[in-house]
A and B are shown apart, each in its own frame.
Chain A
Amino acid sequence: MGRIFKNKLRKAKVIAGDDLVHLFAPEKIDLDNDLLNTNILQVSRERVHLAKFFFIFIFAIFITRSTTLAIFPGEILSEPRKVVSKTIRNPLPEIFDRNDKLLATTVKTKRASIRNPVNPEETARLIKAVLPSWDEGRLIKKLQKKSYVELADNISDIEYYDILNSGVAEVEFHPVWRRIYTNQELASHIIGYSGRDLVGLSGIEKTITKSELLQEDIKLSIDITVQFHLESEIQKGIELYNADSGFGIIIDAKSGEIIASASLPTFDPNRISQNYSKDKIKESTFNQVMQGSYELGSVMKIMTLAMALEEDEIKLDDVFDDTVCIKISKNRCLNNYRNQSAETLITPVDCLVKSSNRCMAQIAQIVGRSKQQSFLQEVGLLDEYFLEIHETGIPILPKKWSDNSMITISFGQGLSVVPLSFASGVASIVNGGYRIQPTLYRQIKNDLRGKSIVSEGVSEKIRYAMRQVVIKGSGSKANVPGYAVIGKTGTADIPCNGSYGGCGNRTAFVGAFPGWDPQYILLVSFERPKTNIKEGVNGNSSYWNAGPAAGAIIKLTAPLLSVEYDKVREIEYPSSTKRIEQFSRENL
């Protein structure tokens, strides 16, 4: 096999005298070899042809392709459009309120800097002329020390052209994103703020950064107009009552959406990174509504009453002796708030209207402490709170849930709760008895019923009792005709040095409107309000401050929220017990 191959190779070459051999030895003619010998030229010619056609073919493909591309350039040119749209997209999503009003957005600005100036003194002089905020001496020092100095962040177009025309050659400009909060202080605790490199540092901004929600716009449940009225009324209240701080919250009683949430004093997220000291940032970014945890006082009596009615331990026509001595220590009886005069026999509704501590303690004693604890757990007051934002507070429970703490918790001492969870707890009781989950995002479904906490009947009874507080009790200044406002006031001494008294008080009002079918829950609270006799504020209990502030807020915001208005409608005594009520009234 190998030999034949070798032979063929040898034969393939043209050898001198090869053809002559055939003349003398014709028998030696090998047909195969002959064929090979004669075809050599032809084969090479064919190969050249083949190569030529191959090249023409390739060339033709190139030409046709490039011609079609020249005529129909769409395929290649449509590419850059995508790149452009990528660069336009904002690095952080925009934040809107529930009516699609812009709350936070990002705009492109420029940052000016200087790299390796030849003559620092001259450069500093020229820069000082266009950027007067710089101190010339400091700038010279910086320019001499460092090779790269940042001149100004977020410069406007006018400043940009000024710097360009200043005659400094070493100036560089870089595009930077700037976060803008259009409503300044409004809802700043909820929106939060972000640092220089667009990293969210509090509120929703922090949530965006942490959960990497970088694509979609965020629609909050906040209504910015309601938020404005809430904040301005609370600010007015703080000034009028000379209070240390105050907060307020309005939540939707059916869906749990937070319509407005104010915590004053507040801050301006646009300027906080530059103008505020570290302590001030810490102080002003503290969100009392969601991070705080306070003893809210008598407003807790709503919970005690609802619990007892739900457990069916008391009825609305039961009577309690308000003068009875309830021992809280060896030789001390429980006092009513500020030693108010006590009557011998009152109904549970009157207990709430008169805000009697002794009465509530008796009710709590009937129900028992384990049921009290589980009820408060169910309502959500003891939850370590979870919301869409990261800064949430935790309730402070008594170290040991003893009988004494059961008595004090029944009228609102000894248990600190997060105001937001308290408001949602009240909402869960008055809205017909189903639990709601507070949320900061706008909900598409309007009715988000959770677990049932109290029955519809109990809810009705509580609404009636709370209405009586506003009609003839301490909440009368919160009454707004046409909405049948229901509510309860609370004044709690702020504990200090391990005891109560002498450290000012915290007043609160929790209410709902309209009373016949509560749509919105309102909670208002002031820290250490004072009397202001000049303006007609003759006391520092919640009757004088939280109540009227709540009334003003409801008056302003209810029309904005298009709440049902009915001037004559009243909440009637729950019908199932109507007959017995008349009987018990006669007894009194």
Chain B
Amino acid sequence: MFRVFVYSLFFTFISLIVFNQIVSHEIKNKSRDLNGINFSIRSEERKESLLKTDWVVRTSPARLMELAEKHRVLLKLVPARGEDIKFIKLKEENN
């Protein structure tokens, strides 16, 4: 009886170990995938910060001024005046 008990235990343990091995192998694969995703997140974040900086450089006041000067005639641009601001404020209040 005792012997049967020991054998069955032994068998259970062996099968559990096999199961563990299969699962851990899968985990290794998954964690490799995860590392890959993390790496791509990092590189995307780096790219994002670069793009953000690019955007700030592109919309810097000096460059915008240059563009405004260039297209002043075509787009009928004029520097903001105090009257305009007052007009906008009045409009906001009315709404």
Contacts and interface: CB of A to CB of B under 8 A. Distances in A.
A and B, one complex? yes
A558 B19 contact: no
A560 B64 CA distance: 15
Contacts of A559: 79-82, 84-85
A483 B61 contact: no
Nearest to A227: B61
- The bracket for how many chain A residues form the interface is 35 or more
A569 B23 CA distance: 81
Contacts of B82: 480, 482-483, 558-559, 563, 565
B62 A228 contact: yes
A71 B83 contact: no
Contacts of A84: 38, 41-42
B79 to A, nearest CB: 6
Given A107-B49, A559-B85, A77 B34 contact: yes
A87 B35 CA distance: 14
A562 interface: yes
Interface string B23-41: 1100100110011001001
Interface in B49-75: 49-50, 52-53, 56-57, 60-62, 65
A155 to B, nearest CB: 14
A184 B62 contact: yes
A107 B56 contact: no
Contact of B20 (A70, A88, A562): A70
B42 A101 contact: no
B31 A77 contact: yes
A228 B61 contact: yes
A470 to B, nearest CB: 16
Given A67-B20, A555-B79, A565-B83, 14 more contacts: A63-B13, A71-B23, A102-B56, A105-B53, A107-B53, A108-B46, A182-B53, A224-B60, A558-B82, A559-B82, A559-B84, A563-B85, A565-B85, A567-B83
Interface of A: 56, 59, 63, 66-67, 70-71, 73, 77, 80-81, 84, 87-88, 101-102, 105, 107-108, 180, 182-184, 186, 224-225, 227-229, 232, 480, 482-483, 555-556, 558-560, 562-563, 565-567
11 contacts: A56-B9, A63-B13, A63-B17, A67-B16, A70-B19, A101-B56, A180-B53, A183-B61, A184-B62, A186-B61, A562-B89
